[in-house]
Structure 1
């Protein structure tokens, strides 16, 4: 498999284990290949997020290089796709990039605070619950995790365990810990469907399509929660 095929295979999530090793070796040892990969990744991100100005700048930067400095493996269908986005606005190219990282990014969104109202900065209210949700809304993930953990240890309040898992996912690390919480807890009806949705996304983040699909199928069969998104995501898996 040549470099062009390896790059295409990565973004289409179709590389075999052996090809992934070759790909990773090239990223470490081939500067041109790595530059090409980074450019495509940036373009993909700009396309998905409809960042037109950023996309234009990246394309101009690439075009400004002397011909001999441009990568020989670049596939201009990505530039053509970019032009489509620039010309027609909101076209979203998730189907061109089917790896689990892309799917996770496309479907994941922070779960809102539905337990306590937003507290004003000058409020004298400093209950553990208020402090926890302030940290959650301020994206102070470590503090939120610690506070929700403490609340759950003292009261076994279900919301505290759920928002602890959400804080872990938002932080972007320790996804396996979030999975453990979401999977092993006997959730009430208030959180059962939501926990299944985020469990499926957590499996996607860990590149575990089979388990993500099983969870999504369970959610689809048992609930109408995010029904359209569940069906769309199942179709991509």
Structure 2
């Protein structure tokens, strides 16, 4: 997990998100089990720190969050008030830093959530009359993957590689890996422009399942000309 995800959690708890951002994040939590588990872990850790230590210690934690935002998000933040600590508070501060340091160390291993930035779907331009495809496209672009899957399930003809590709992504997002990989292998064995994309998402599907060896096999199958080749090389370096 990247530092940006930590900042996203903080922004959510601090009500610093717009209504649109908040709804999008809550929808991601509903559809991504791994993200939800990390969110709950962070929430419980924050709750523990908030209840165990007094107001000056919490102010220290807020100051630490501001520094993190400035360094990682690269945007202006208000400078927090500097607090004069007694020896006891230095011990508390060390505990907070240790907790946050442990959090980031745990996130050193690459995860699916680091790479699931999907392109938008535009397949209805060639299927204007299909209500289900319109619904699938709209839901996909809104990152409502459960709704995307339900819409695709109503489509009678899914032989088009482009439709199979976006359907497979939605299936990965909803953890239906078997169906997703059947579709992706079908695309991979064909000759469409989505052939290399299918290989990339087969790698990501296995990454999400923590099948690292299988993930590496697919990453090594991507050709240097593939759109996702550079990302695949970065992922390989992290998991080797």
The verdict on a shared fold, with TM-score over 0.5 as the criterion, is: yes
Counterpart of 1:201?
204
Displacement of 1:96 in angstroms is 5.2
- Dislocated runs of 4+, deviation >3 Å: 44-47, 52-64, 79-84, 93-96, 124-132, 134-138
Alignment counterpart, residue 5 of structure 2, candidates 44, 48, 57? 48
CA gap of 1:88–1:176, structure 2 versus 1, over 3 A, is same
Question: How many aligned positions are there?
Answer: 172
TM-score, with normalisation over the residues of structure 2?
0.56
Q: Which runs of 5+ in 2 are unaligned?
A: 16-42, 54-61, 75-102
Displacement of 1:215 in angstroms is 0.8
Q: Secondary structure at the match of 1:224?
A: coil
CA distance in 2, matches of 1:49, 1:118: 40
Answer whether contact 1:135 1:143 (CA < 8 A) is retained. Answer: no
- 1:97 has 2:107 as partner: yes
Alignment counterpart, residue 145 of structure 1, candidates 152, 171, 174? 152
Q: Which runs of 5+ in 1 are unaligned?
A: 1-43, 68-78
Counterpart of 2:184?
182
Counterpart of 1:136?
140
Displacement of 1:82 in angstroms is 5.7
Q: Secondary structure at the match of 1:225?
A: coil
Displacement of 1:222 in angstroms is 4.6
Q: Secondary structure at the match of 2:157?
A: helix
CA distance in 2, matches of 1:166, 1:129: 15
Answer whether contact 1:182 1:196 (CA < 8 A) is retained. Answer: yes
Deviations 1:72-113 (A, max 9, x none): xxxxxxx9996752341338x9775244xx520011123421
Alignment counterpart, residue 194 of structure 2, candidates 191, 199, 209? 191
Q: Secondary structure at the match of 2:190?
A: coil
Counterpart of 1:107?
115
CA gap of 1:144–1:110, structure 2 versus 1, over 3 A, is farther
CA RMSD of aligned residues (A): 3.9
Answer whether contact 1:169 1:178 (CA < 8 A) is retained. Answer: yes
CA gap of 1:60–1:211, structure 2 versus 1, over 3 A, is closer
CA distance in 2, matches of 1:184, 1:89: 40
